[in-house]
């Protein structure tokens, strides 16, 4: 991987069987956010955790977010001056719909919502056709509103450990494609 990664899990922090945890273990130099409120998520805490991880990265990273982590990244992007210069891109997998019936009450209480308007960062939203936390059409609308690319994954549930993806090699290839696009768009390194 040409860019370092920052893992931004959803509620609970993605356990050992989650593809995010497996990627973190397999890819040296990968960082993970560290909010104090994993199980009772507070938006300000999560946004600050994203900011700390990006600041700690030795080079502009690709943010690899899942579920509620996607909303944390989106809020970080719209609240951070110069966010696009600080990261190489964002890989936003299975963002939940805060208006959906399955959206966690703890996340509502913690201030999680969809930020409006473009994120101002290079981003790609990936969504499943049978995600219980967001309908595919809604995920496509969110991607368009955020100014992000969109990838339909087929039937993968919430794209989590329960989906049985293991190390999710297909996702890792998609991440490589997103990172390669970020490198091309950034142009050659300055001399």
pLDDT of residue 191: 46
pLDDT of residue 186: 55
The CATH number given to whatever domain includes residue 102 is 3.40.50.1820
pLDDT of residue 2: 78
Partnered with residue 126 across adjacent β-strands are: 93, 151
Q: CA-CA distance, 90 to 72, in Å (whole number)?
A: 11
Provide CB contacts within 8 A for 63, sequence distance 6+.
5, 6, 8, 50, 54, 73, 87, 89, 90, 91
Q: Nearest Cα to 41, choosing from 14, 68, 18, 22? A: 68
Q: Mean pLDDT per 10-residue run, the chain (191 residues)? A: 91 94 95 96 98 96 97 97 93 97 95 93 97 97 96 96 93 87 58 46
Tokens coding 48: 């600050």
Is the residue at 190 inside a domain?
no
Is the residue at 191 inside a domain?
no
Is the residue at 35 inside a domain?
yes
Tell me the residue range of the domain where 51 lies.
5-185
pLDDT of residue 182: 61
Tokens coding 150: 């969109």
The number of distinct structural domains making up the chain is 1
Is the residue at 53 inside a domain?
yes
pTM of the model: 0.94
Is the residue at 169 inside a domain?
yes
């Amino acid at each position: 991987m040409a860019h370092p990664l920052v893992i931004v899990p959803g509620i609970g922090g993605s356990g050992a069987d989650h593809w995010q945890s497996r990627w973190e273990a397999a890819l040296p130099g990968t960082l993970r956010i560290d909010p104090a409120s994993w199980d009772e998520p507070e938006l300000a805490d999560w946004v600050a955790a994203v900011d700390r991880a990006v600041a700690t990265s030795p080079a502009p990273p690709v943010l690899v977010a899942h579920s509620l982590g996607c909303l944390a990244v989106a809020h970080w992007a719209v609240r951070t001056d110069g966010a696009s210069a600080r990261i190489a891109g964002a890989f936003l997998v299975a963002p939940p719909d805060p208006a959906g019936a399955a959206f966690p009450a703890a996340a509502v209480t913690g201030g999680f919502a969809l930020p409006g308007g473009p994120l101002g960062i290079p981003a790609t939203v990936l969504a499943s056709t049978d995600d219980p936390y967001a309908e595919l059409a809604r995920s496509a609308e969110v991607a368009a509103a955020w100014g992000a690319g969109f990838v339909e994954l087929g039937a993968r549930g919430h794209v989590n450990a329960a989906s049985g993806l293991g190390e999710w090699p297909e996702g890792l290839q998609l991440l490589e494609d997103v990172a390669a696009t970020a490198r091309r768009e950034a142009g050659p390194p300055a001399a």
